[in-house]
């Protein structure tokens, strides 16, 4: 089917739409005649222009949801619009904390399925999914009622402005969701982090179990800083508690596509590779010549991270 109207669930941070949102708007523009976005939170007016530039003609603003987790109120408002006759053919969500909640809630409310982990989407609504560590592509299609709900992995599509004007903002009230709307945020904790974000950095330097101990992750951080990049990690060292989950690259972590990805002491498990094999250039340092990471590296160094990295850090420091 050809889509007439596509909704995008938009997320913003510090008054700016997330790149994942702009990617979805770009894709939605390719798919449908009309693109509309849904947002929540206070400063929608401020970034509506940005959403318009990437293709949204209208932004539905649910407004401040009063400190509750957004899943319930946003899905309730969207479902009410659909049931009232304002029905899109498809809704695109990015795979993030809140959009995933909204997608699950909306699916159950409207009794329509969700296709998750989407990495490609054709005009006829067929979605692509990377399985078995990205070695296999599965295509899937909906056969039931619209709207079709797609949960898309960030970095699946490029974000390109379409030159549209500012989107009009329509404030939408939230229907009473009763007891379901009971999860309240009482306190936020923000971890200090400097440098570019992992999924937006041009250079990503990741460390794995081959570093041997948590303290050695400082080499990864130092190298990332020297290259103006972001540090990342394999799940092995996230699970071991060396670094926070937000550093994790892979199937259950972030997808990254930097100009250069440098994997240090990472074996290259399929679940790790699916999150970084889209990088433009890959450098790997591993002492095991047989490590699978070498099968996708543009430059593979068979060596000890404890020998190569200190020398590399010195060489880079001497240049600057």
Partner 1 sequence: MNVAVCVKQIPDPATPGKLDPSTKTLVREGKLILDDSDAYGVEMALQLVDKAGGGEVTLVSMAPNSEVSGLRTALAMGAHKAILVSDDALKGSDALTTAKVLAAAIQRAGADLILAATESTDGYTGTTPVQVAELLGLPSVTFAKHIEVDGSTVKVNRQTEAGFDEVECPLPCLVTVTAGVVEPRYPSFKGIMAAKGKPVEELKAADLGVEVAVGQQVTDVAPAEERQAGEVVVDEGDAHERIVQFLEQLKVI
Residues 198-257 that bind ligand FAD (CB under 6 A): 208-210, 234-237, 248-253
Residues 277-296 that bind partner 1 (CB under 8 A): 277, 281, 283, 285, 289, 294-296
* Choice between 167 and 248, CB closer to partner 1: 248
Cis peptide before 33 (omega within 30 of 0): no
Report the residue from 85, 165, 194, 319 that binds partner 1 according to the rule CB under 8 A. Answer: 319
Tell me the CA distances in angstroms from 220 to 144, 192, 196, 254, one per residue in order.
48, 17, 15, 17
Is residue 25 within 8 A of residue 48, CB to CB? The reply is no
Is residue 131 within 8 A of residue 47, CB to CB? The reply is no
Stretch that binds partner 1, among 39-47, 50-58, 167-175, 251-259 (CB under 8 A): 251-259
290 binds, among ligand FAD, partner 1, none (CB under 5 to 8 A by kind): none
Cα–Cα dist 117/253, whole Å:
12
158 binds, among ligand FAD, partner 1, none (CB under 5 to 8 A by kind): none
62 binds, among ligand FAD, partner 1, none (CB under 5 to 8 A by kind): none
* Choice between 175 and 303, CB closer to ligand FAD: 303
Report the residue from 9, 75, 77, 224 that binds partner 1 according to the rule CB under 8 A. Answer: 75
Quote the tokens at residue 176: 């009473």
236 binds, among partner 1, ligand FAD, none (CB under 5 to 8 A by kind): ligand FAD
Neighbours of 264 (CB within 10 A): 25
Cα–Cα dist 199/208, whole Å:
18
């Amino acid at each position: 089917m050809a889509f007439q109207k596509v909704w995008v669930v938009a997320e913003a941070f510090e008054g700016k739409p997330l790149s994942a949102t702009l990617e979805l708007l770009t894709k939605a523009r390719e798919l449908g005649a009309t693109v509309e976005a849904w947002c929540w939170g206070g400063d929608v007016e401020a970034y509506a222009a940005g959403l318009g530039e990437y293709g949204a003609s209208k932004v539905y603003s649910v407004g401040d949801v009063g400190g509750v987790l957004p899943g319930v109120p946003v899905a309730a408002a969207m479902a009410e619009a659909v049931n009232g006759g304002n029905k899109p053919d498809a809704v695109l969500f990015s795979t993030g904390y809140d959009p995933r909640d909204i997608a699950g809630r909306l699916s159950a409310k409207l009794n329509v399925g969700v296709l998750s982990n989407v990495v490609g989407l054709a005009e006829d609504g067929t979605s692509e999914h990377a399985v078995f560590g990205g070695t296999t592509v599965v295509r899937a299609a909906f056969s039931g009622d619209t709207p079709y709900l797609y949960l898309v992995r960030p970095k699946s599509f490029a974000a390109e402005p379409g030159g549209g004007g500012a989107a009009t903002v329509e404030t939408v009230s939230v229907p009473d969701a009763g007891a379901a709307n009971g999860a309240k945020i009482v306190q936020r904790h923000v971890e200090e982090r400097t440098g570019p974000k992992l999924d937006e950095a041009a250079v990503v330097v990741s460390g794995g179990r081959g570093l041997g101990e948590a303290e050695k992750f400082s080499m990864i951080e130092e190298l990332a800083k020297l290259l103006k990049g972001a540090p990342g990690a394999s799940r092995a060292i996230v699970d071991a508690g060396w670094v926070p989950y937000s550093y994790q690259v892979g199937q259950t972590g972030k997808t990254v596509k930097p100009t250069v990805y440098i994997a240090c002491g990472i074996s290259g498990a399929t679940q790790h590779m699916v999150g970084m094999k889209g990088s433009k250039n890959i450098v790997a340092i591993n002492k095991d010549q047989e490590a699978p990471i070498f099968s996708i590296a543009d430059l593979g160094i068979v060596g000890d991270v404890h020998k190569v990295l200190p020398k590399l850090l010195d060489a880079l420091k001497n240049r600057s």
